[in-house]
Structure 1
Amino acid sequence: MTTVKATPERRTPAPRALGRAGLRLWHLLALPVALILLWWWISASSGMYYMPPPDVIATTFADVWFSERFFEDALPSVARLLTGFALAAVLGVGIGVALGLSPRLRALTEPVLEFLRAVPPPVLVPLLILLAGISTSMKLLVIVSGCIWPILLNTVEGVRAVDPVLADTCRCYGVRGRRWLTTLVLRSASPQIMAGMRQALSIAIILMVISEMFASSSGLGFTIVQFQRSFAIPEMWSGIVLLGLIGFLLSLVFQFVEKRVLVWYNGVRAATRGE
């Protein structure tokens, strides 16, 4: 006579997963909520006109930006930001790969590049206004002039750090030309290239605002300055909040793209750590 053993009930991982999700959400929201409460307390206790409470800023934000102004000022600014960032990425990676692969070219151009890198991009705004006028081209040039350097320098270092063993292996298997560039060089340098792009993205936001504050008739930077000059303080703060939200959303999008691009690299790191 056979006896049937009762199989132990398996605990579903759902409660544990929900607990982890709740903990992550708490870690994500704890500091912003604390800062908002602190701002609320300071604005209520001081009564300063230049520090309106968060509820006033939120109401003004909805009135100002849930309107045609969003399409007239915010969207063009974001378009210029992304266009300038894309141009800087293409130029930075292209020039960086060339310099990283050629020690002679790198030694020849290094003094000039170091001089140009030391010039702050906002200082170039008056010169670019004279050359390109008060136009979209001027704003794009300001963004590119600052964003290109972290991408270029990180690309150069990434290309120079290509594993010689992998290079010899590709040479033995006849991997040359465009395939060698995309399979070995760019893939090996991609972690540092993405790190440079991450730095450049934050610089692009700053330069986008600066270019619109100096000489423009539209855009987020222009609108915030106009609010400040007319003493529309809640409206000014609503523009600053919108800039922060745009930066936060762009950072999330970049993290998503970075994980997809560096999926092989993250897999190698996880395997190395034994995860």
Structure 2
Amino acid sequence: MDASGNLRDIGEPEIDGAFLASGGVARVRDALERGDLPVVDAAGLRIGAPIARPGKVVCIGLNYRDHAAESGAEPPAEPVVFMKAANTVIGPYDEVLVPRDSVKTDWEVELAVVIGKRARYLDSREEALDVIAGYAISNDVSEREFQFERGGQWDKGKSCETFNPLGPWLVTADEAGDPQSLGLRLWVNGELRQNGDTKEMIFDVAEIVRYLSRFMVLEPGDVINTGTPAGVAMGIPGQPYLRAGDVMELEVDGLGRQRQTVGQA
């Protein structure tokens, strides 16, 4: 998207890890400045996730104090890390499916970090911020019964199909500004359910990336979901979990807006 809001063809097959690792963002920026990118008429077209086939989706749990409190958990001393199947990633306007036998499908608006450079054993916050290609909106959809009541780790309630709408945009780090100063909001059927700010994170973006690099190699195209503020169904009296026909709308300051209708698997 250019400064006037026009969508332009970047001339690349897709945005993925190889694109990011090979300096694709800089190539696109240079081509845009030269006027080489034609305008695209997107009317009637599906908008996919801004990252094609992420290598992995790493998630941080209980990373807002108010969400930890509504979950009945103490604020963690170190980041709570779990993985989400990479093929949960779908477009920002695609249908989200309630899994078969699900009774507790929940929503979570999150700031997603997209890695742009290979990262291992980072020593400083500055190094951590340097490997970030950009940011996007993520809906970390979760099935709470699968997550907490069916044994095993959290992954079971996080990796159902369609459980990670992402996008609509990959906003580069320079354009996104301070990642610790972004409002996050989510509505269900027009009712505001979550209204938080990334300044309330327990572990900020730089620390999350630095910390993860001590335990795993982060590759270009990897996605990190950085946690959600209070207001999930699990923490609301009556626990109004998602049902087929519900509509979720999400936004993060400067990153655009998502909208999903809920269906049944």
Shorter chain as normaliser: what TM range?
under 0.3
Q: Which has the higher contact order (CA 8 A, sep 6+)?
A: 2
Greater share of residues in helix: 1
Which has the greater radius of gyration?
1
Greater share of residues in strand: 2
For normalisation by structure 2, the TM-score amounts to 0.25
